[in-house]
Amino acid sequence: MKGLFLISLLSAFCFGQTDYGYMIGFHTAPRDLSALVINSVNYRELPDSPYPFQASADDVFLSFTNTVATREPGPFLYATRQDPDQIYGYRRLLDGQLEPLPDFPLDLQANPYNTFGTVWLVKHPQLPVLYTCNVVQNNISIFRIQEDGSLLELEDSPFTVYPEAPSPQGLAFSPDGRYAFLNTFEINGLASMTVEPETGMLGDLRREATLGGNRGRGVVLTPDGRYLYATVRNGLDIYGFRVDDRNLTPLDGFPWNSGIDTVWLQVQGRFMAIGGDIIRKLGIALIGENGELSFAEGSPIELYGHQMYYSAFSPRNDRVIFGGNSLIHSFDLDNEGRITPVAKSPISLDGIYSGVSIAPEITGDPFHLRFSPHPEPGDQEIRIEGDPNTPFYLQNGDHCSGPYVTGADGFLTLPVPVHTDQQLQLKAYCDEVYSADVVQTVPILSQWGLLAFIFTIVLSSLYFLRKKEPTI
């Protein structure tokens, strides 16, 4: 028990940061939106997950597209679905779980062909504005996020992209938010638009480049805005361009054959996440100084039958998650782009999962909490120390209570009498497994047991000091 306490105390400082992953399921009724907690030792579905959408009783086929997590305003999570085209809104709670926002789902414009319409959901890099690409309607809907999480459609929305850029698919913004770039399904090409700096309204649409292959899909920009990359449907090539304001110049050595039929790309820092559809592989590509691409050491990884075409990076760029057919993979990511599966990865969830997003802990991390000071028999209260504004649960013997939340200073005192041989645990959730997912375990020793423990430490210290005495 002493060893368990020492290990738990040390591991409380080694969990790393906690992230929450969100993904949309289709072919999965009644499972719809799943939420996961991710850190170096804890990778699992949250207790209240999955979160069903408010679909009608006869709606057994749900096809969703993308999720976006926001913090200001927020913390909120938005997700799109198709047929009918709608946006769902949730408030993200402190422990990563979700609470549906009122007045959602939000119905988008009618889909005249009763087929997949809303394809991509993306947020402006600076403004609290959301955009949805509506492939069948040939336009882009634009909404301003209100403080309560509701969405207010802009007066001139939706923005029509036909005939210059029909069937809009992927949408990405320059880092300064001045320009938006669109990959189009019908013309296998890229278009650019200006962005009004105060409202986020789009304007001045024009074609910029033509892609080879069959049907445009994804588009991303590097964080510095210097390079743009795009994909086409069922193609192995990634197209690369140098960006000058809104002008695109093809990069030397492109298109780059990745050997993976990637659909949607994700870029953060100098890393690009690539996942396959028919070719079941995933990996991390490194973006060079001149925009060139090369796989990081250990990439790509073959998945033996599982699609992994959606991906997302953690905000700190030290973790990446891939979603697709049945399995959800999560990896720790080092500075050279090498990926290592987190403990318990992959997670098996029924169905196909898309629209992956990662959000960090909103305030504090329950996996960083500890008792301070060490509880002693006879104490009439216990004190918890760690990150500020952090929710947690207390396991006291067989009883779990909470949630409790640490204060702005990172401390919380609870009126819990401490008895001899009492077992106290700090948990992220009450249903966590004792031996595997407990944040910290503190056995309370009797007075004689404590004296014996101290005596053992003193004897051990004397022994090692004696061994270090110089010999003559």
For residue 258, is it left (φ>0), alpha (ψ between -120 and 50) or beta? alpha
Residue 203 CA, chain-centre distance (Å), reads 31
Tokens 């699992």, located at residue:
44
Same domain (yes/no): 265, 404: no
Same domain (yes/no): 394, 356: no
Question: Is residue 378 a part of any domain in this protein?
Answer: yes
Same domain (yes/no): 164, 35: yes
Distance CA 246, CA 237 (A): 23
Enumerate the β-bridge partners of residue 327.
348
User: pTM for this structure?
Assistant: 0.77
Same domain (yes/no): 186, 87: yes
Question: Is residue 191 a part of any domain in this protein?
Answer: yes
Same domain (yes/no): 175, 70: yes
What secondary structure does DSSP assign to 67-78, as a single string?
EEEE-SS-SEEE
Same domain (yes/no): 343, 413: no
Domain final residue pick, 311, 341, 360 = 360
Residues spanned by the domain of 439: 366-452
CA distances to 171, 280, 308 from 274, rounded to whole Å, are 17, 11, 8
Question: Is residue 4 a part of any domain in this protein?
Answer: no
Distance CA 168, CA 179 (A): 16
CA distances to 49, 77, 357, 431, 449 from 121, rounded to whole Å, are 22, 11, 11, 34, 60
Domain final residue pick, 300, 327, 360 = 360
What CATH number corresponds to the domain at position 320? 2.130.10.10
Question: Is residue 316 a part of any domain in this protein?
Answer: yes
Which runs of E-coded beta strand occur in 251-405?
256-257, 266-268, 271-275, 281-287, 293-295, 301-302, 310-313, 319-323, 325-333, 339-341, 347-360, 370-371, 382-385, 391-396, 399-405
Query: The tokens of 409 are what?
Result: 């200073």
Distance CA 44, CA 38 (A): 7
For residue 142, is it left (φ>0), alpha (ψ between -120 and 50) or beta? beta
Same domain (yes/no): 285, 432: no
Task: Walk along the chain (472 residues) and give the pLDDT tens digit of each residue.
Answer: 222 222 222 233 334 577 888 887 654 444 468 888 887 667 888 888 877 654 433 333 334 467 888 888 888 989 887 767 788 899 887 778 888 899 898 888 765 554 556 778 899 999 999 999 888 888 999 999 999 999 999 999 999 999 988 888 889 999 999 999 999 888 778 999 999 999 999 999 999 998 886 678 889 999 999 999 999 877 889 999 999 999 999 999 999 999 988 878 899 999 999 988 778 888 999 999 999 999 999 999 887 656 676 788 888 888 898 877 667 888 999 999 999 998 888 887 666 566 677 776 666 677 778 888 888 888 999 999 988 878 888 888 888 898 888 888 889 999 999 887 778 888 877 876 533 333 344 454 444 455 555 666 666 666 555 555 554 4
Question: Is residue 89 a part of any domain in this protein?
Answer: yes
Distance CA 70, CA 64 (A): 19
Question: Is residue 466 a part of any domain in this protein?
Answer: no
- What pLDDT, in 10s, does the model give residues 53-104? 544 333 333 344 678 888 888 889 898 877 677 888 998 877 788 888 998 9
Question: Is residue 63 a part of any domain in this protein?
Answer: yes
pLDDT attached to residue 430: 80
Contact 301, 281 (CB under 8 A): yes
What CATH number corresponds to the domain at position 406? 2.60.40
Distance CA 313, CA 53 (A): 25
Same domain (yes/no): 336, 414: no
Same domain (yes/no): 384, 313: no
Same domain (yes/no): 412, 284: no
390: DSSP letter: -
For residue 213, is it left (φ>0), alpha (ψ between -120 and 50) or beta? left
Same domain (yes/no): 214, 73: yes
Q: What is the dihedral of CA 322, 325, 328, 331, to 10 degrees?
A: -40
Same domain (yes/no): 159, 215: yes
Distance CA 131, CA 182 (A): 12
Tokens 């804890």, located at residue:
42
Domain final residue pick, 335, 360, 385 = 360
Q: How many helices (H) and strands (E) does the chain have?
A: 3, 39
Question: Is residue 462 a part of any domain in this protein?
Answer: no
165-191: string of b/e by CB count within 10 Å (b at 16+)? bebbbbbbbbeebebbbbbbbbbbbbb
Specify the number of domains making up the chain.
2
